[in-house]
Amino acid sequence: MLLDNNRRNPSAILPSEITPQAVFEQRREVLKLAGAAAASALTGLSLPAQAATAGSLSFAKTAYGKEETLTSLQDVTSYNNYYEFGTGKEDPAREAVLFKPTPWTINIEGAVKQAKSISIEQLLKLAPLEERIYRMRCVEGWSMVIPWIGLPLKALIDWAQPTGNAKYIEFISYNDPRHMPGARIPVLDWPYIEGLRMDEAMQPLTLLAVGLYGQVLPNQNGAPVRLVVPWKYGFKGAKAISTIRFVEKMPNTTWMKASPREYGFYANVNPQVDHPRWTQSSEKRIGAGLFAGRVKTKLFNGYDEVAGLYAGMDLKKFF
């Protein structure tokens, strides 16, 4: 729980107007679409058409994190934070089953040459998809290692053509109380909003993920597209992004609004700066077993290449 227990979400109701079979058929369509678009984006590495229709994405393997021990697919897809589908860790896997992440477009607005939108199919053509294994650290004190599939956010920024006034980017998650039972409850100020400074957004590690473990992104992990910033706490990774807004001022993000004392804009993983309720000096690897000790947390989650972004900044003040 990122929120205090006394603000717990009462159990939510599942929308039941769609039959499971209809959902299954829709899901097959998404897989086909995503697979086909990815295949056309990657000449040479494309999978045959049958593979695309079976739900695989075409992607290039990279060296990122290849020495890491992966968290199981089961844990990655059943222990989630996604408050639009409930505040319990097991709620999103159950409550997001009927969510339909297709068709999907992302609105691009704010300080850009021209406001426009981009479909997932177009997005997948902006850059070859890559698999990157990233360590993910949650502010609650646990961590996972996830083989994401995605493209650098920079590819979308280049396409969006921001103007000189763009100093930050705001990521706004899709919000529809009809299909998201958690979004009917004012447990957070909806829609879910996150943000990055422009140079953080352009950093090559910053990913727009469309898949994991070789498959299109499961709904509970933020289908069809979510942000992944491995040197920051997991809450920066906005799920089901529907709008990307380029702005001049630092965005007021959802967690900053919920509890400014507990959640800062930067949210860089930092063992020296404790959260009021959880130590940040060590973490528990999900799935590592009952007797596995806690792992020491590293500054920037061990992604030292980002240190230059914060040169001269007091990281205790700008937490």
The residues binding ligand MTE (CB under 6 A) are 2, 80-84, 138, 173, 192, 221-222, 234-235, 237-240
Nearest distance, CB of residue 40 and ligand MTE, angstroms: 27
| N residues, the chain | 319
Q: How far is the CB of 241 from ligand MTE (least distance, A)?
A: 8
CB of 236 to ligand MTE, least distance (A): 7
Closer to ligand MTE by Cβ: residue 48 or 302: 302
Q: Least separation, in Å, of the C-beta of 221 and ligand MTE?
A: 4
Q: What is the largest CA-CA distance in the chain?
A: 56
Compute the half-sphere exposure of residue 50: CA atoms within 13 Å on the CB side of its CA.
0
Best CA proximity match to 192, nearest among 226, 231, 166, 167? 226
| 211 phi and psi angles, rounded to 5 deg | -160, 170
Alpha carbons 287 and 171: distance in angstroms, whole number: 30
Q: Strand, helix or coil at 216?
A: strand
Q: How far is the CB of 283 from ligand MTE (least distance, A)?
A: 12
Tell me whether residue 237 or residue 264 sits nearer to ligand MTE (CB atom): 237
Nearest residue to ligand MTE, by Cβ distance, number only: 234
Nearer to ligand MTE, 81 or 203 (CB): 81
CB atoms within 10 A of CB 32: 16
| Structure token digits, residue 14 | 């599942």
**Closer residue to ligand MTE, CB minimum distance, 213 or 310:** 213
Cβ proximity to ligand MTE: between 29 and 68 the closer is 68
Q: Please, which residues bridge with residue 241 across strands?
A: 173
Amino acid, res. 170: E
The minimum distance between CB 299 and ligand MTE, in angstroms, equals 19
Phi and psi at residue 166, in whole multiples of 5°? -80, 105
> Kind and range of the H or E element at 310?
none
Measured between alpha carbons, how far is 234 from 205 in angstroms, rounded to an integer?
14
**Is the Cβ of residue 92 or residue 162 nearer to ligand MTE in the bound state?**
92
Nearer to ligand MTE (CB atom), residue 41 or residue 253: 253
Question: What is the smallest separation between the CB atom of 187 and ligand MTE, expressed in angstroms?
Answer: 9
